[in-house]
Structure 1
């Protein structure tokens, strides 16, 4: 399947998806809040062949922008008022009737499971307000027949433990039995591209690698790759007194995310099955 692809939100994941699809022959249009092109490959390159339009809750797209599109994907997060894309563009998306619709969500909708495994059959039970907003947005997108991609912690070049260590901002916080699942941004793009060729509207896919791991181990591995001394371990009881509310929120949920459906139904073979391969790529 190749045709016209419309992407709401040309962020970290969106840039890689847009680049991959443009390279595969798709005609890609994407949105940013400003309408300015952003880097899609490397730090200096703009988005070759990708039309970029401004969009946010207060600036909806002009009429006709979605006419003739074959696929629509949103990576725009909900805000306190709801989902900006659906609030402003749901009617236009439905009228365009694309053959494929997708929405990038988060594995945060599962909530805390004390380190146990979750899969797509696990009932969502979000513990954070931002995850509750995601779940509400998921429901609305599924009403449009969207494929729902629940993303684990996203990393890639420019946004990884390697970059954190290089910036001198790495901390090895040790919370007993805490693990996180992750996904390299290139594997996110690969899953979206595979779904375009194997559409199954309304299906939920967990996008994560094979190795849920404690965060301090990931920092330690990044230090080894860079040949630098790792920062000291910080016990959770100490760290919780100094971490920001946002940083603390990342430790609220503890679970291992199963990715079997992604592999079986989409035929995905992960390029980066663990943080070890992924961080080597970032380096």
Structure 2
């Protein structure tokens, strides 16, 4: 470890914030990007060195990336590919020799639909949605970059993320939660603090080239999670809605295209991660205490 480690996050969002907070407490300098100057000002007020990236590339990438030892990539791909690679491939290649760790946040959507069956990191990648295909293309592009530049890339395939301000308890309280039933449908999920635990463990024990599923121990039907959230709040659950009758956005509907159980054995055995929230029950209970 260098004397002054520095984490730079392309996309300082929900997951990156959880990691940045932990690493800052360990003496890391923390920097990242957001899409607007207003958000950048907010991050700076919280001690994060912030830069604007989105509609345009970084204004001065050499300054933004200077001293970076750890690089996290969490900007989603679009229809043209990965926006970070498109804008800053050469800039990241220049700092590759100094990187001790590099992580790309992907999705378990790259496995496609398995009709409720189990998948691990060695399962074939066969995304069935446009979102999943974009993520797989981005994974492949970053792997190719890492091979060309000897960069210490790690890929993290995240399940459905929840945490403070983003959970089914909030949905029950604000009336937006829906108990949609699609027979055989199961999802895996992960608390944002457990994502940070996995990333922190990987930073401590890097294994360049590795891919990790980041999910909790218990895949579950989504309607069960909604019902449990309602029970914790002492409220009646929303009525069940058959999937074919549900009014969903295209993005929400795409989540129901895949049904699978995702194994987290590798993060437990290789990274020695003990999840703080091994199922949605512990996660929601803790979030309830924080409401």
Same fold (TM over 0.5): yes
Distance 1:52 1:222, change over 3 A: same
TM-score scaled by length of structure 1: 0.93
Aligned to 2:109: 108
5+ long unaligned stretches in structure 1: 41-45
TM-score by length of 2: 0.91
Q: How many residues align?
A: 276
In the other structure, the counterpart of 2:123 is: 122
1:15, 1:39 within 8 Å by CA — same for their partners in 2? no
1:90 CA displacement:
1.6
CA distance in 1 between partners of 2:142 and 2:46 (Å): 29
1:58 aligns with 2:59: no
| 1:11 corresponds to 2:13 | yes
Q: Is the 8 A contact 1:262 1:268 kept in 2?
A: yes
Cα RMSD (Å): 1.6
Match of 2:156 among 149, 158, 169: 149
SS of the equivalent of 1:103 reads strand
Deviations along 1:158-208, one digit per CA (max 9) or x if unpaired, are 000111111101111111111000000000011111111111111100000
Query: Structure 2 vs 1, CA of residues 61 and 137 (structure 1 numbering), >3 Å: closer, same or farther?
Result: farther
User: Structure 1 residue 39: deviation in Å?
Assistant: 6.8
Distance 2:164 2:41 in 1: 15
Question: Offset of 1:47 from its aligned partner?
Answer: 5.6
How far has the Cα of 1:247 moved from its partner?
A: 2.0
Residues 1:280 and 2:263 aligned together: no
Q: 1:221 aligns with which of 221, 228, 237?
A: 228
- CA spacing shift, 1:128–1:37, aligned 2, 3 Å: same
Bigger helix fraction: 2
- Shift of residue 277 of structure 1? 0.4
Cα distance in 1 for residues equivalent to 2:178 and 2:61: 48
**Following TM superposition, where does structure 1 have runs of at least 4 consecutive aligned residues deviating by more than 6 angstroms?**
none
Q: For 1:1-283, what aligned pairs fall within 5 Å after superposition?
A: 1=1, 3-35=5-37, 36-37=39-40, 48-64=46-62, 65-97=64-96, 98-143=99-144, 144=146, 145=151, 146-239=153-246, 242-283=247-288
